[in-house]
Chain A
Amino acid sequence: MRTLKSIFLSTSLLTVSLLAVTACKDSTFLEVAPRSQGDSQTALTTAEGFDAAVNGIYDRLQSVVLYGRDMLAVSEALGDNAQFTNKSGRLSGENRNLISNTFGTATSGGATWQTAYFAINQANLILDNVGNVTFSDTSQRNRLQGQAYFLRALLYHDLSRIYSYDPGVAVPSQDRGGVPLITVGVADQSKITFPARAAVADVYKQIYSDLQNAIRLFSRSNPSAPAYGNLQAAQALFSRVALYNKDYATAVKYATDAISGSIKLSSNASYIGGWRAPQNPESLFEIQFIVAENIGVNTSLQTSYTTLVRTGDRTATGGFGDLVPTTAFINDLEAEKSSTGAVLDIRRQLYELGTTGRGTAFIECTKFLGKNGTINLDNVPVIRVSELYLNRAEANYNLGNTTDALTDLNVIRQRCGLTASTLTGASILTEIYRQERLEYGFEGHRWFDLKRTGQNVVKAAAQGGGLAYTDNRILAPIPVNELSTNRNIVQNFGY
């Protein structure tokens, strides 16, 4: 008994003291490393890490508040191509231009701004660190670095056109500048800054510089188009950015460069088929979605635009079809007819009558129809070859090269089955705008095209009655979070 007692006592005391001593002196005893996540300090120290980090930026672009939906559908809702159907109630506020109903706000406050800046930080971190790591394959480094520049340029351009006036058309009394420019990655607390809004000119300077870098790096590597940023896409984006910047010579230059690339304009015969393929053969850059990334029945582009599950089958109802073309838009598509009265424009085939499954049937846009083989799953074209011709036409017109402008305009018109135009003077520009509207229908361009050219948005009363260019709702409000965390940020006028 005595021995038992002493064994017990000593063991117990030993355990207590051991526990106490280890707990107090040696805190590695309490180290637990995460296994489902990685350490941010070591994430960007290998080539594989950079590859994963670049994919991480593309993943952000898939978000509903960027190219998953909003860059296209919200843009269309705000503009004059579309009317809401109220079949789920979604996009009805945006379509009527209710105050603060804009990009990202339907999902959560300022999510577009947030997601874009998160992605920019990821690009910054890559650009900050890519020089510190040895790549056995330099072309791999160029490819990754080039994509980071390309994506940063795209994101800054999108932020700029949502939240600030475009160069040359600012309403001076309401102009609060461009968006904040951050070009250094935040990996730890010490790097956090509280930036003010940069001048719009500086934002464009940065986008130019990023695109120049991307073009330089892509020329020495070969990322696969259209899923990833590539040389032709960077040139095409440059032509778009330059057009927004009213820098027409640059727009012409890069459009021409891009047109000479390997991805070509689709022919009349293959154009509609291109919209039924998972990847549009005309896409220079297209956000890819795989099965696991399906945005689903509430907010995918398919459900936003159509109730159809497949073309020509009105018996199966899929999505909500929240946003459909206005009668005016369809009329415009049907305006040019053959002598027999047939609609000439083949793009009309991309719109068809939806189902009655959720109420009255409307003519709906079918550019997004589960082309990847699963309902609600579509890749999203960001830049197509068509844009290059129209960009160049518009830029040339503004440079006074009306002949060149008309040539490019007719490339698009004839490709769609329309006759070559012989317009002259200002009518050429009007027709370029019209073709831009019809060609990019429901791809998210119209709102921004009206805005960058300083035009009023004309809409029927049921769609809110439209708004003058000077209306403050032309610009989206900066998210409240930025104002409450950063004293240097100034809110847009009227919010």
Chain B
Amino acid sequence: MRKLLFGSWLLSLFFCLSVMAQDATISGRVTSSDDGSALPGVSVQVKGTTRGTTTDANGRYTISASPRSTLVFSFIGFTNQEVAVGNRSNVTVTLESSANALNEVVVTGYGGTVNRREFTGASSKVSGSTIANLPVGSFDKALAGRAAGVQVTSANGVPGGAIQIRIRGIGSISAGSDPLYVVDGVQINSTNNSSFTSTNPLAFLNPNDIESVEILKDAAAASIYGSQAANGVVLVTTKRGKAGKTQITLNYYKGLADPIKKLDVLNTQQWIQLRTENLVNAGTAADAARSTVLQTLRLISVPGAANPNNLPASLSDAEIAALPTYDWQNAVFRQGQTDNYELGLNGGNEKTRFFVSGSYYTQSANVVNVNFKRGTLNTTLTHQINSKLSIDQTLKLSTIISNGQFGGPNGGSFLGAGAFSSPLILPSVAIYNADGSYNGTPALGGIPGILNQNVVQVSELNQIRANINQFVGSIALNYKVLDNLTIRPFVSLDYRSIRGKNFSDPRTADGINVRGRIQDQFNENKNFLTNITANYTKTVGKSDFGVLLGAEYRSDINENLLTNITNVPTPDFKYASAAALPQNIGGSWTGYRKGSVFGNIKYNFNKKYDLSFIGRLDGSSRFGANNRFGFFPSVSGAWLISEEDFLKGGRYVSDLKLRASFGTTGNDQLGSLFAAANFPGLGLVSPGYDYNSAAGFAPTQLANPDLKWETNQTINLGLDFGFLGNRITGSVDVFQRTSKDLLLPFNLPFTSGYSAISRNAGEVQNRGLELEINTVNVRAGQFQWKSSFNITTIKNKVTKLYPGIVPLNNPDSTILLSYVDFYGVGRNAILGRPLQPQFTTDYAGVNPATGRAMFYDYAGNITYRPLTPRDQKYFGTEQPKFYGGFNNTFVYGNLSLDFLFQFDYGRRSFNSQTSFLIENAGRNFNALTDVYNRRWQQAGDITDVPRAYNANAETNSVSNLGGTRTLEDASYMRLKQITLSYDVPAAISSRIKASKARIYIQGANLLTFTNWSSYDPEFLNFGSGNSGVVPNSKTYQAGINVTF
């Protein structure tokens, strides 16, 4: 690389007219735009001369040059910069990291790195600095919108909660679709084993410890990881020590989080009117209806009274008008807070370098009593034992306490889920009594309506917690056998324990009748990995060869213990010994082993042509006895066109590289995340089918000894480009990812005693286009404007299910397979359609004459009673048509403004939260004001909201909440992040002996553009859609970062 730069400098020597003038001594310092650190080893040249020097360990240099000359600063991984000297004696320069340009380094796994210029695969890099200091519990959340082909979705707004990453679409039907996460060479077990709270197995890592994240996308890049690579690989490299003076970094920020949106629901008077209307429309006499509704409402609790809570059965209009309305959303949603404290030390000498950091991070959600606390300690040590032998060691310790919401970890229609219940509770119900105590506790008879729990009480008194301790450590020896042969043994352990706790307070509805319930979970995961690799390079003439050979063994064991005990003396007793009545105890074990050999041969000719072959043989205990081993090869090549004579040195094209790859990778996430994980091919009987206190079992799985991995075949064509002196850089990739032998439930008639047997039968295709483009729009003096934009569009299609599925009895003869996916969500796969389809009946609006909900039948005729499956059709998918991000950075001197828009377009989702709110009080729930206003009221009304009708279904009709009525467009664009920062001038920062100081203010999710009618279009469907999901929040924060 440096040779190349030197070459181009030599070229410029010939073409530029050198102007000699009287020389002066110029000195200065070169720092990195990433983190402001000193850059040692930067080449400083006087343009047009042979004169040059390099910077020292502190980034300082001295050179003699004339005032009329220009200095050229160049360094690997950074964009060259030219500065006219003028009358200055001090020229200090900040080099811009040239992320995404062809001279960055690509991390390829197993300790390997390669210059992007020679890289033949498709990958995206996100540098640590771009995702640092965001108010997120785990780094994966911060990747949203940053890389093409990488779709990042937050399951919810729980701090440190679950995140889903899908690289280049969904390539599995019923197996897992998560990428492999590798942190400093350690293959992380990313299974989420927490029973009571939404947690994220990647939250153990402080995002600010990350140097870079490399996302391997095509087979050529990922197939070195073989049967784990089909869903892509995310390689995380953490920060390392740098030789030189020990740097001490202090980092602090504080943030506030507010709800993005609250829902506009009815007041008491509107609700009484609407509910009465429901009953009247369903045939109840008006007086009786009004009396029934008033009896349903109770305003205050009067303990001890005979019939304490009822309103009188009749109230005058004036009395009704005087009834108060209470805002339950206000009581449940609140301002969250974030605090982050960090201390980092980094330094060393030529032999030993270290990086040590400690952090403490706390974040509370915008919903009552949901929060996250994490302490981390991270050390990396690199030591050169002698000229041949060096050692790399990493150790990451973290402890997390995460308080989740009562109900389910992933939300759901649970009465205790604040976000779900608060808009639905009847508006006449007071939250607190006059004395400040909770209204409507179970002891006082509950609150009226279906949601009869005071959700504030439930959220505040119950305790739902996960206490996660994790350590991830590794040690590697690098032994340089010969100058061009290195052998590297590596051992790592990823250990995680989760102590889960779910305490139902005896004063709450779920606890009162059992006098309190204590559920404890202990889950322990031991993930051991060892490998050894040998790396050999050889140059013969214009040919460079590189060979990597390796062997690997991994064993992963998970044990779980769950206890459930009721009856505590008082709410003060929250641990199991205090509980009198054991309910049940569960224990389980699962595990797998895996053995592999792999290799990579690279060949480069004349620095222009690259070729790479990868092969990996994986054996896994997860595969059936007849198919224990799978082989995953890939071949790829690249042509650096810009090095060809016809382009080299051109004015417009700085870099141009064409890449092509073909290869196969595997997916071994078979079985399910839960019960029979790791044993998908065995015939099993399962315990727990007990009766009358005696043990029982039942057959639960039929054996399939032929079961094997899923195979992905990926073809990728890519073009990396840099134009106009790399002011415009980027990549465009087209790919076709064909996922074959997909694990499918071969559905059986229930008469067989089983619902399905797992077979490798399905095929899904993802065809897509990715574009990443980075531009320097303006560079004028102290002002600079840079943009980066990425967009991905993917066509996902199920191309094969197994033969023999009987077509549905509808005119389309739809071939549909129902299954439960890896994450426990019941879904359909339809042949010829994308995965996660919406397959339902077509809502036709409201009959203007009667107010009844109408549907279209298969022939397009109106019906009140559509039949399933006859009248069902495909109505879009939960997958987006395209997604991406658009980032802009404005720098003026020490001031910079950075903002990121992220977008996700074309997702069609069932709005399960809103589906309750559009019932229009068909049951005793509150309703959306907008839907209330639009409801059909009299003959001739043209609207899409049917007349209010008790229990939501008119005689001889189906429920008016069915079909496409509850499907919504979940597309959105949001201002994901905006940061304004100021680098304090050295003159000021040096007064506190700091080498560098930066202060900033930042906002996240400040703007969201969407038609989604619920809180937040960004959520994951874990079976109950978006209902009860803690929504993401708007956050504001301010921080300071000082380096000594």
Contact = CB atoms under 8 A, between A and B. Distances in A.
A34 B955 contact: no
A52 B698 CA distance: 8
B250 interface: no
A23 interface: yes
Interface stretch (B74-82, B753-761, B789-797): B753-761
Interface residues of A, number: 110
A100 interface: yes
Contact of A36 (B295, B307, B687, B826): B687
Interface string B652-664: 0000000000000
Contact of A120 (B592, B753, B957): B753
B532 A360 contact: no
A192 B691 contact: no
B693 interface: yes
A20 B307 CA distance: 79
A480 interface: yes
Contacts of B628: 27, 30
A375 B514 contact: yes
A16 B697 contact: no
B595 A23 contact: yes
A56 B513 CA distance: 29
A240 interface: no
B513 A309 contact: yes
Interface string A38-79: 111101000000011111111110100000000000000000
Interface residues of B, number: 110
Interface in A114-168: 114, 117-118, 120-122, 124-125
B650 interface: no
Contacts of A120: 753
Contacts of A315: 445
A470 to B, nearest CB: 16
A8 B481 contact: yes
A227 B691 CA distance: 9
Given A55-B689, A481-B818, A87 B450 contact: yes
A392 to B, nearest CB: 30
A484 interface: yes
Contacts of B532: 12, 15-16, 19
Given A482-B750, A483-B806, A19 B552 contact: yes
B560 to A, nearest CB: 9
Interface stretch (A90-98, A211-219, A338-346, A409-417): A90-98
B809 interface: yes
B620 to A, nearest CB: 6
Contact of B749 (A9, A185, A482): A482
B292 interface: yes
A1 B482 CA distance: 12
A418 B553 CA distance: 79
Interface string A76-88: 0000000010111
B923 interface: yes
B782 interface: no
A5 B486 CA distance: 11
B572 interface: no
Interface stretch (A267-275, A445-453, A459-467): A459-467
Contact of B617 (A24, A89, A182): A24
Given A122-B753, A486-B749, A288 B448 contact: no
Contacts of B959: 93, 98
B448 A359 contact: yes
Interface string A352-367: 0001111110000000
A27 B619 contact: yes
A485 B487 contact: no
B806 A484 contact: yes
Contacts of A114: 750, 755
Given A56-B698, A193-B752, A482-B750, A39 B684 contact: yes
Interface string B298-323: 10000000010110000000000000
Interface string B741-753: 0000001111111
Contacts of A89: 450, 923, 951-952
Contacts of A118: 698, 750, 753-754
B386 to A, nearest CB: 8
B854 interface: no
Q: Which of A51, A58, A110, A491 has the most CB of B within 10 A?
A: A58
A491 B870 CA distance: 13
A15 B489 contact: yes
B445 A185 contact: no
A39 B696 contact: no
A317 B446 contact: yes
Interface string B809-821: 1000000101000
Q: Which of B487, B683, B692, B958 has the most CB of A within 10 A?
A: B692
Nearest to B387: A1
A277 interface: no
Interface string A271-305: 00000000000000000101111000100000000
Contacts of A187: 683, 699
B788 interface: no
Contacts of A486: 749, 751, 806
Nearest to B292: A360
B596 interface: yes
B67 interface: no
B590 interface: yes
A462 B282 contact: yes
A19 B699 contact: no
Q: Which of A22, A93, A315 has the most CB of B within 10 A?
A: A315
Contacts of A454: none
Interface in B671-707: 676, 678-679, 682-687, 689-704
Contact of A38 (B309, B697, B952): B697
Contacts of A96: 951, 953, 955
A113 B749 CA distance: 10
A99 B691 contact: no
Given A30-B595, A88-B450, A180-B751, A52 B697 contact: yes
B1009 interface: no
Q: Which of A27, A54, A479 has the most CB of B within 10 A?
A: A27
Contacts of B442: 316-317
Given A23-B597, A118-B698, A356 B309 contact: yes
A56 B450 contact: no
A227 B749 CA distance: 30
Contact of B310 (A59, A110, A356, A491): A356
Given A121-B699, A462-B283, A32 B747 contact: no
Contacts of B687: 36-38
Interface in B912-939: 923-924
Given A30-B628, A55-B689, A117 B699 contact: no
A88 to B, nearest CB: 6
Contacts of A108: 826
Contacts of A56: 689, 691, 696-698
A31 B753 contact: no
A57 B754 CA distance: 14
Nearest to B278: A86
A192 B690 contact: no
B549 interface: yes
A440 interface: no
A137 to B, nearest CB: 16
4 nearest CB pairs, A to B: A121-B753, A55-B696, A23-B595, A40-B683
Given A40-B685, A54-B696, A359-B295, 5 more contacts: A30-B628, A36-B588, A36-B687, A122-B753, A186-B754
5 contacts: A8-B487, A34-B589, A359-B296, A479-B750, A483-B809
Interface of A: 1, 4-5, 8-9, 12, 15-16, 19-20, 22-24, 27, 29-32, 34-41, 43, 51-60, 62, 84, 86-89, 92-93, 96, 98-100, 108, 110, 113-114, 117-118, 120-122, 124-125, 180, 182, 185-189, 191-195, 227-228, 288, 290-293, 297, 309, 315-318, 320, 355-360, 374-375, 461-462, 464-465, 479-487, 489, 491, 495
